[in-house]
Structure 1
Amino acid sequence: MIAYVTVGADDIARAKRFYSALLPALGYALEEGPAGLSYTLPVAPGQSPVLPDFYVKPAFDGRPASAGNGSMVSFQARNQQQVRELHAAALAAGGSDEGPPGFRAAYGPRFYVGYLRDPQGNKIALFSSDPDEPGRDG
C-alpha cells in the first residue's frame, strides 16, 4: 500500500492554487505549514488513516524542484463529469493540458482519463472507471 506521495514545488503559492482547485473535491483536506502543503483524507475518530496522503514541498536538498521523467500521480474521480470539471478547474488554476479528458484506445473500455501538468511540471492524471457510465464502445 502506498502511504504518501510527495511532489516538489518551488512556488508553493502557485502549487496551492493548482492542487486546491481539485483535491478538496476528491475529499482531501489541506494543512499548510512551513514545510509545504499536506493534503490528507479525513479520518473518523478511532479509525486508521485513509491513505495515501499527498504532499507538495520544496525539494529537500535545497536545489530547484524538477518533475520526474516518466513519473505521474493519478487521482480517482467519482465519474466522467468530475474528471472534466476538475481538469478544467486545474487548467484555470495554472496547470497545463497533457491530454484532454476522454477514453484512450490503449486502456480498458471504461477508463476515462484527463492528464495535466502542475505549475512545476509534475504530471497528474484524473480518472474514472465507473461501470455505470457509458464506455468507450458504447
Structure 2
Amino acid sequence: MIAYVTVGADDIARAKRFYSAFLPALGYELEEGPEGLSYALPVQPGQSSALPDFYVKPPFDGRPASAGNGAMTAFEARSQQQVRDLHAAALAAGGSDEGRPGFRDSYGPRFYVGYLRDPQGNKIALFSCNPDEPGRDE
C-alpha cells in the first residue's frame, strides 16, 4: 500500500495554487507548514488513516527541485466530467497540458484520463474508470 507521495517544488505558493485547484474536489484537505504543503484525505471514524497523503515540499538537500523522468502521480476522479473540470481548473491555476482528457487506445475501454504538469514540471494524471459511464467503444 502506498502511504504517501512527495513532489518537490521551488515555489510553494505556485504549487499551492495548482494543487488546490483540484485536490480539495477529490476530498483532500490542506495543511500548510514551514516545510511545505500536506494534502490528506480525512480520517473516518473507526479508521486509522486514509491513504495516501500527498506532500509538496522544497527538496531536503537544498538543491533545486526537478521532475522525475517517467515519474507520475495519478488521482482518481468520480466521473469523466470531473476529470474535464479538474483538468481545466489545474490549467487555469498554472499547470500545463500533457494530454487533454479522453480515452487512450493503449488503455482499457473505461480508462478516461487527462494529463498535466504542475508548475515545477511534475507529471499528474486525473482519471476515472466509472462503470456507470460510457466507455471508449460505446
Q: Give the TM-score normalised by the residue count of structure 1.
A: 0.99
Give matches, 1:61-80, under 5 Å.
61-80=61-80
The letter for the 1-side match of 2:129 is S
**Alpha-carbon distance in 1 for matches of 2:88, 2:5:** 23
Percent identity among equivalent residues?
A: 86
Q: Secondary structure at the match of 1:2?
A: coil
- After superposing on structure 2, the runs of 4+ consecutive aligned residues of structure 1 that deviate more than 4 Å are none
Q: Give the TM-score normalised by the residue count of structure 2.
A: 0.99
Provide structure 2 residue ranges, at least 5 long, that are not aligned to the other structure: none
1:26-58 CA distance string (max 9 Å, x none): 000000000000000001244211000000000
**Alpha-carbon distance in 1 for matches of 2:125, 2:91:** 13
Q: Report the number of matched residues.
A: 138
- Residue 32 of structure 1: aligned partner: 32
Q: Secondary structure at the match of 1:98?
A: strand
Q: How well do the aligned residues superpose, as a CA RMSD in angstroms?
A: 0.6
1:74-119 CA distance string (max 9 Å, x none): 0000000000000000000000000000000000000000000000
Provide structure 1 residue ranges, at least 5 long, that are not aligned to the other structure: none
Matched, 1:89 2:64: no
